Amino acid sequence: MQLIEQQVKQWLEDVVIGLNLCPFAAKPNRNKQIKIFVSEDDNENDLLETIYMQFKELDETPPETLETILVVAPFLFEEFDDYNQFLDLIEGLVVQLGKSGTYQIASFHPDYCFYGAEPDDAENLTNRSPYPVFHLIREESMAKVIKHYPNPEAIPDRNIECVENLTPEQMRQLFPYLIK
């Protein structure tokens, strides 16, 4: 489990922060406000319960202490389609908890593929991670940082351009888990 956490932390620091794919991640990472929780669950019901408990922890912990949580599911969702369908259950959980507008989910998977994209399209790299990851985000915190960020709508296009310009060597270095 420690190795998995270390690999996700490396991805967070080298890819997400290192390539500046999320310009809002560096500060909470520097301040140790990001929790990486590696789930041992091997079925969806248990994982949904785990994610519920992580939401509860966010509810009970001030953002100054814990800004966001990455829930890693290394033993589930080998197929991206299964992962993608599970996202609907998490969204349903957020609604059921009455937390719409409080939390949002960002999604990452080793085989992430945007709708309408081909699996080998570079744009998919922006959401590819070593394991399936569910990023639990406080909407209020996002709203605060976006307010002070020029042109946040351009972030996805800038990210795509960034990963499209990576050399094959940089891709091998940053995404070793994608090399089969």
Q: What is the pLDDT of residues 160-178, one digit of tens each?
A: 999 999 999 999 999 999 8
Note the pTM of the prediction, 2 decimals: 0.95
Tally of CA atoms within 13 A in the half-sphere of 116 that contains its CB = 0
Residue 180: which pLDDT band, with cuts at 50, 70 and 90? low
What is the residue extent of each domain of the chain? 1-175
- Residues 118-143: tens digit of each pLDDT: 999 999 999 999 999 999 999 999 88
- Taking a C-beta distance cutoff of 8 angstroms, is the pair 117, 124 a contact? yes
Q: Quote the CA–CA distance of 158 and 49 in Å, as a whole number.
A: 36
Going from the C-alpha of 69 to that of each of 43, 50, 133, 134, the distances in angstroms are 20, 12, 10, 8
Which distant-in-sequence residues (6+ apart) come within 8 Å of 158 by Cβ?
A: none
